[in-house]
Structure 1
């Protein structure tokens, strides 16, 4: 069984090499006998991400590098997933905010028959470290999804997910968003179409501090999320 692990990267030159080295080492030690391939997706970066990504692809047989000119997390993940054929398609944020200890649980859940697996910061066993403002925004977003889209998923936006080939074939063409709402839309559409969605606990922390702090503007992103939620709500009526 082949796993394709997409690693979307926008201006991640400062952390990319360290984190890919860490990910490769973890996969080599913990994912045997799973066949895995990491795809670094350079999402139109303007720093040295391209140089770092190409160097890593040359260093490791299990690492590829691709450049995507269209900005947006969703566009990057989609490009990685359609670049190769696999049995399981996964992605994680390049900052490795989700501790890699969750990766074997992701593999186990998919092997157990789940068709979509999501790392969830709201599972009782999860350990999460984040600022109060991010907690409030996250809870608000979760509540909006549950009320407006009637989803049972607890952490749709967490950047640690896997889908099987059937979900990729049937659901990926239906996903319209190319940015941050992409994976929320993906898993909610899969849920509405009757695929088995399973959430697993994670250890999660925002590792960006100082000059390397997160570039995501949470309030403007929150407004865009609400806009996308209402748009998806309308689409679900006809799907």
Structure 2
């Protein structure tokens, strides 16, 4: 049946040809256009991807729209900015397909030329440390390349539609008793400037969203 790959997209026209051109056989890209003004959606259609337009801005909104559009038993998520190599998707999806894990995250390994500012790495390390305490999973990175079962993820009923979506996924998966693993993937030079980690303000906004997710989980506990 293959595996659907959700690619949240906001003005990634420069990166999409490389990303979609390296999609492995059996992996079907679903590009979720979140209000691009650079023709990203048209480029994605021309390269054979399924395109979903999500008018409500937000990383989580785009991810969830792609999840709803997916039909495969296992679904993957990854950024569309060329910072991650689609050829490495089998590393992440393999344990889920084999029934060895329920959620696998790609632990990013910095490669020459890649930009991962200190403020972003510190924020990521802090969140990973808190996740280890809360989920008992040996996580070191809240990696954007990940794989899990589609129906099981829908049943978690994630509510965040901003940058807290990836964190909420892990928190709810841990609370549900999922087997959570990570595997190394290359972190490459991205195309353009990151909407999240490219500035201190963007990183603080993302961390703020994630703190709200944790606060909601604490209130529900």
Kindly tell me the number of residue pairs found equivalent between the two proteins.
Answer: 215
CA deviation after TM superposition for structure 1 residue 69, in Å: 0.5
Secondary structure, aligned partner of 1:189: helix
CA change 1:215–1:127 in 2 (3 A) is closer
Report if the CA contact (8 A) 2:131-2:171 is conserved: no
Aligned to 1:232: 214
The structure with the greater share of residues assigned to helix is: 1
Coordinate RMSD, CA, aligned: 2.5
Aligned to 1:214: 194
CA deviation after TM superposition for structure 1 residue 41, in Å: 0.8
CA deviation after TM superposition for structure 1 residue 227, in Å: 5.1
Structure 2: unaligned runs, 5 residues or longer: none
Cα offsets for 1:146-198 (capped at 9, x unmatched): 56x46535245311011113422321x1x121122201111221011101111
Give the Cα–Cα distance (whole angstroms) in 2 for the partners of residues 192 and 5 of structure 1. 25
Give the Cα–Cα distance (whole angstroms) in 1 for the partners of residues 70 and 87 of structure 2. 25
Structure 1: unaligned runs, 5 residues or longer: 29-34, 58-62
- Is it true that 1:195 corresponds to 2:178 in the alignment? yes
- Is it true that 1:99 corresponds to 2:85 in the alignment? yes
Q: TM-score, normalised by structure 1?
A: 0.78
Aligned to 2:47: 56
- Structure exhibiting the larger radius of gyration computed from Cα positions: 1
Give the Cα–Cα distance (whole angstroms) in 2 for the partners of residues 231 and 81 of structure 1. 20
Secondary structure, aligned partner of 2:53: strand
Report if the CA contact (8 A) 1:88-1:162 is conserved: yes
Report if the CA contact (8 A) 1:119-1:155 is conserved: no
1:179 to 154, 162, 179: 162
Give the Cα–Cα distance (whole angstroms) in 2 for the partners of residues 141 and 225 of structure 1. 8
Cα offsets for 1:100-144 (capped at 9, x unmatched): 3432212321123211111013xxxx4555343433333233345
Aligned to 1:44: 35
Give the Cα–Cα distance (whole angstroms) in 2 for the partners of residues 223 and 47 of structure 1. 24
Give the Cα–Cα distance (whole angstroms) in 1 for the partners of residues 148 and 82 of structure 2. 19
CA change 1:45–1:19 in 2 (3 A) is same
Report if the CA contact (8 A) 2:84-2:145 is conserved: yes
Secondary structure, aligned partner of 1:13: coil
Cα offsets for 1:27-54 (capped at 9, x unmatched): 13xxxxxx43211111111221122122
Give the Cα–Cα distance (whole angstroms) in 2 for the partners of residues 112 and 89 of structure 1. 14
Give the Cα–Cα distance (whole angstroms) in 2 for the partners of residues 89 and 237 of structure 1. 29
